[in-house]
Amino acid sequence: MGSSVEQNILVTGGAGFIGTHTVVQLLKEGFKVSIIDNLDNSVIEAVDRVRELVGPDLSKKLEFNLGDLRNKGDIEKLFSKQRFDAVIHFAGLKAVGESVGNPRRYFDNNLVGTINLYETMAKYNCKMMVFSSSATVYGQPEKIPCMEDFELKAMNPYGRTKLFLEEIARDIHGAEPEWRIVLLRYFNPVGAHESGRIGEDPKGIPNNLMPYIQQVAVGRLPELNVYGHDYPTEDGSAVRDYIHVMDLADGHIAALRKLFADPKIGCTAYNLGTGRGTSVLEMVAAFEKASGKKIPIKLCPRRSGDATAVYASTERAEKELGWK
């Protein structure tokens, strides 16, 4: 189903993991897309593969711009030559451990980049934004499932950039109510496009569970360290809400449609998760079953800063975005 009027969307960080999957869905839904990415954590081949997946006709509606949000001039160049109806803002750094060792890099990239983006959007009167937030803003939630109105607290510099950026969005909307901003709090994105042509391929040793399991499966790493087997959960391992990246991509389409359709949306946060908790050991078992490969594991102490169990309440996204 294409949209009746062709809307033009700027996608920051569109060459990355969630970005590429979302751009495929945007093009298929009839949107025109411009990506800005500095390729800090991605490769241009990923954009070539998006073109391959959508075919030559839809590819004509995709433009790639090499640029860095920390340089206001790079953003200005885009806005001065075309009108954008909305921005989906993925660009940012996301490695928790790295942010602890080098917080200034995170504040510079995530905060300065986003502030530059808001400034330029305001200048060109483009006031609709879908922002990549994270379940990390719930810290160690006192209750589960996490609901959007829970108290927010971040536990590391990366998490603080997401929390600050949520606060910045609420303040901008508070002062200039014409802004429409959707804050999407992703839980744990996993998986890849069904073609296998795009996906998550982090550089170096992965921090996250799924890419780590995948590297064990292909023999690049010898075994999976299971961090924590004495949590007060059914099997002792930690519980998360793993959401397929294609579902997440569709969540962005739903959020965009909501922005365009609802002048009263204001600045609203939505959880994007499945609402189901899965333990680390259950993930390993599910992967073994699906792939037919044995994943050797080593039971290790808890990883510092990890929560016991986090999963989403999906009620608000279901009710207001029509997304599940």
Ligand X SMILES: O=c1ccn([C@@H]2O[C@H](COP(=O)(O)OP(=O)(O)O[C@H]3O[C@H](CO)[C@H](O)[C@H](O)[C@H]3O)[C@@H](O)[C@H]2O)c(=O)[nH]1
The binding site for ligand NAD (CB under 6 A) comprises: 13, 15-19, 36-42, 68-70, 90-94, 109, 113, 132, 134, 186, 189
From ligand NAD, ligand X, none, interface partner of 227 (C-beta below 5 to 8 A by class): ligand X
One-letter amino acid of 312: A
- What is the nearest approach in angstroms of ligand NAD to the Cβ of residue 294? 26
Under 8 Å between Cβ of 185 and 134: yes
Q: Which is nearer to ligand X, 222 or 263 (CB)?
A: 222
In the residue annotation, 311 being an active-site residue is answered as: no
d(CA 134, CA 273): 10
Selected catalytic residue, list 158, 186, 212, 231:
158
From ligand X, ligand NAD, none, interface partner of 15 (C-beta below 5 to 8 A by class): ligand NAD
Among 226, 254, 256, 259, interactor with ligand X by CB under 6 A: 226
- Determine which helix (DSSP H) or strand (DSSP E) holds 33, and give its type and residue range: strand 32-37
Q: Which is nearer to ligand NAD, 15 or 310 (CB)?
A: 15
Evaluate the CA torsion angle 271, 273, 276, 282 in order and state its sign. Answer: negative
Among 124, 150, 164, 227, interactor with ligand X by CB under 6 A: 227
Among 3, 41, 59, 207, interactor with ligand X by CB under 6 A: 207
Selection from 308, 107, 94 nearest residue 207 by Cα: 94
Selection from 127, 95, 92 nearest residue 112 by Cα: 92
Selection from 88, 114, 94 nearest residue 106 by Cα: 94
Instruction: Establish if 271 lies at the interface with ligand X (CB under 6 A).
Output: no
d(CA 184, CA 271): 6
Helix ranges restricted to H, the chain: 17-28, 44-59, 72-81, 96-101, 103-106, 113-123, 157-175, 209-217, 245-261, 280-291, 315-316
d(CA 34, CA 81): 12
Longest dimension (CA), the chain: 57
Q: Which is nearer to ligand NAD, 13 or 277 (CB)?
A: 13
DSSP-assigned letter for residue 197: S
Residue 258 sits at the vertex; the CA angle it makes with 256 and 261, to the nearest 5 degrees, is 110
From ligand NAD, ligand X, none, interface partner of 293 (C-beta below 5 to 8 A by class): none
Instruction: Establish if 187 lies at the interface with ligand X (CB under 6 A).
Output: yes
Instruction: Establish if 88 lies at the interface with ligand X (CB under 6 A).
Output: no
Footprint on residues 61-80 left by ligand X (CB under 6 A):
none
Chain residue at closest Cβ approach to ligand X: 238
Instruction: Establish if 238 lies at the interface with ligand X (CB under 6 A).
Output: yes
d(CA 98, CA 39): 18
Q: Which is nearer to ligand X, 23 or 238 (CB)?
A: 238
Among 32, 94, 160, 193, interactor with ligand X by CB under 6 A: 94
Instruction: Establish if 212 lies at the interface with ligand X (CB under 6 A).
Output: yes
Q: Which residues are catalytic?
A: 158
Binding site for ligand X (CB under 6 A): 94, 96, 134-136, 187-188, 207-209, 212, 224-227, 238, 240, 280, 303, 306, 310
